[in-house]
C-alpha cells in the first residue's frame, strides 16, 4: 500500500516573482520555456506549466528554492542512477535536469 504524502513545510512563494509569459532558459541546453501558469508549490519550490520554445511542447518545469537546490543534488544523481539501472521512471519522461535563468518577464 502507498503511504499518504504529507507536506514537508509551508508552500514556497513563487520563484523570483515569476509570472505567466516569463521566459526561462536552461543553462545546460539553452532550451527556452515560456511560463503559462503556476501548477503548484511546495517545500522545495514551484511547478509551472511551460511551453518549450523550439517544438512548442508543453512541459511541467519545477523551479527549486535556491536554498534547497544544493541539498537535492545528491538525490537527483541517485534518481538518475536508479532510472539507468531499471530503465523505468515514475513519470512519463524526465527531459532535462539543469540550472536555468529567467531572462524575460512580461512587460519588461
Q: Is 62 annotated as a binding residue?
A: yes
Does some domain include residue 60? yes
> In the chain, where does DSSP find H-type helix?
66-86
Domain that holds residue 81: 15-89
The answer to whether residue 23 sits within a structural domain is yes
Query: Is residue 47 one of the residues assigned to a domain?
Result: yes
CATH code of the domain containing 30: 3.30.200
Signed CA dihedral, 55, 26, 50, 73: sign only: positive
> Closest Cα to residue 54, out of 37, 34, 38?
34
Q: Say whether pLDDT at 88 is over 70.
A: no
Residue 71 within any structural domain of the chain: yes
The model's pLDDT over 39-72, given as tens digits with 9 standing for 90+, comes to 998 877 788 999 998 899 998 888 877 666 666 6
Nearest to 65 by CA among 46, 79, 39: 46
Residue 76 lies in a domain: yes
How many domains is the chain built from?
1
Tell which wins on pLDDT, 35 or 15: 35
Residue 65 lies in a domain: yes
Amino acid at each position: 500500500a502507498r503511504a499518504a504524502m504529507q507536506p514537508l513545510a509551508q508552500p514556497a512563494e513563487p520563484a523570483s516573482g515569476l509570472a505567466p509569459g516569463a521566459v526561462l532558459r536552461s543553462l545546460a541546453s539553452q532550451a527556452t520555456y515560456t511560463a503559462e501558469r503556476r501548477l503548484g508549490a511546495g517545500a522545495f519550490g514551484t511547478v509551472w506549466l511551460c511551453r518549450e520554445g523550439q517544438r512548442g511542447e508543453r512541459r511541467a518545469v519545477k523551479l527549486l528554492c535556491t536554498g534547497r537546490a544544493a541539498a537535492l543534488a545528491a538525490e537527483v544523481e541517485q534518481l538518475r542512477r536508479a532510472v539507468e539501472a531499471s530503465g523505468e521512471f515514475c513519470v512519463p519522461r524526465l527531459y532535462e535536469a539543469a540550472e536555468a535563468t529567467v531572462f524575460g518577464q512580461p512587460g519588461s
